[in-house]
């Protein structure tokens, strides 16, 4: 049964150590991608806030 499911790609027939290594690698990839997206969001937010502040300052100084 396990081999049949493995052939269908439903479960892995890899050894537990291999699975753990693959999962650790995938988890690390996800962490890196998440960190990169967070940095990008922070940069976008900073630009947005700077723009907003600039608009407010111009409005007050009229």
pLDDT tens-digit readout, 41-61? 999 999 999 999 999 999 987
CB 22 within 8 A of CB 14: yes
SS3 content of the chain, % helix, strand, coil (to 5): 80, 0, 20
Average pLDDT estimate for 3-31: 81
Of residues 14 and 15, which shows the higher confidence score? Answer: 15
> In the prediction, which pLDDT does 17 show?
86
Predicted TM-score (pTM) of the model is: 0.59
Residue 12 zone, left/alpha/beta (φ > 0; ψ -120 to 50; rest): beta
């Amino acid at each position: 049964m396990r081999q049949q499911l493995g052939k269908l790609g439903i479960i892995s027939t890899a050894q537990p150590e291999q699975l753990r290594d693959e999962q650790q690698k995938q988890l690390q990839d996800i962490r890196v991608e998440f960190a990169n997206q967070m940095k990008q969001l922070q940069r976008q937010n900073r630009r947005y806030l700077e723009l907003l502040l600039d608009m407010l300052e111009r409005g007050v100084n009229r």
